[in-house]
Amino acid sequence: MTLLSNTSAAEPHRDEPKKKVILFQGDSITDAGRDRKRQSANDPRGLGRGYPMLVAGRLLADAPGLHVHNRGISGNKVPDLQNRWQADCLDVKPDVLSILIGVNDIWHKLNGRYEGTVEDYANGYRELLTQTMEALPDTRIVICEPFVLKCGAVNDKWFPEFDERREAALALANDLKLTVVPFQTMFNKALEDAPPQHWAGDGVHPSLAGHSLMAKTWCEVVLKSK
């Protein structure tokens, strides 16, 4: 677990090793049916049924000193994260913070429930990240690439704006030198093995197979193993 090491933190007493904290943030894809009243680390009901739970399932076998939290909330866009960031991110003080946000920023716009532009997304996301980097300078931030599969609810109206938002997230990560988990690239490649519906029936919310692929890729990219 060396990639989770937080070398600048004060060393805890040797008999009470500090738990490393991984926090997953995002929308319904991250939320994945979690029980929001259960906020203890490593609680299966609190972690939901998606990739955060499966990442925990891959890591906890070998890392007893790991605390995994999920604070994704269904329907969230960048402004929603901003509104709850102090309590749901900064106060959690993660060693690794993983964020997946963007699909509702366009989906709700297509549904007429939101008016934010690509520029709003990029600017709001940059504010969120710079605020986090200032408040938690030792936290490793992981940007998950927003993705869609071309099936279900996802039609031609989503493009090119979805891709512009996706590229804005990647540009931000590049600019701020943050780790990227390339979920769109991953799903595009997975289409060689199975049709889009296998990975996400509505084009947005992954099946167990989709979440499984996300968890594997997340671990490979962030931990270079598992």
* Residues binding a second copy (CB under 8 A): 33, 42-45, 47, 49-50, 53-54, 56-62, 64, 193-194, 198, 207-209, 211-213, 215-217
* Closer by beta carbon to a second copy, 57 or else 182: 57
* Closer by beta carbon to a second copy, 10 or else 61: 61
Edge-to-edge strand order for the sheet containing 179-181? 66-70, 20-26, 96-100, 140-144, 179-181
Q: Smallest gap, in angstroms, from Cβ of residue 82 to a second copy?
A: 30
CA 190 to CA 211: how far, in whole Å? 12
202 among known catalytic residues: yes
Q: Smallest gap, in angstroms, from Cβ of residue 213 to a second copy?
A: 4
Instruction: Indicate which residue of 28, 31, 95, 98 is catalytic.
Output: 28
Instruction: Indicate which residue of 108, 202, 207, 212 is catalytic.
Output: 202
Non-local (6+) Cβ contacts of 158 within 8 A are 106, 110, 148
205 among known catalytic residues: yes
Element holding 211 (H helix, E strand): helix 208-223
Peptide bond into 160 cis (omega under 30): yes
Non-local (6+) Cβ contacts of 205 within 8 A are 28, 29
* Closer by beta carbon to a second copy, 44 or else 75: 44
13 among known catalytic residues: no
What are the residue numbers of the active site? 28, 202, 205
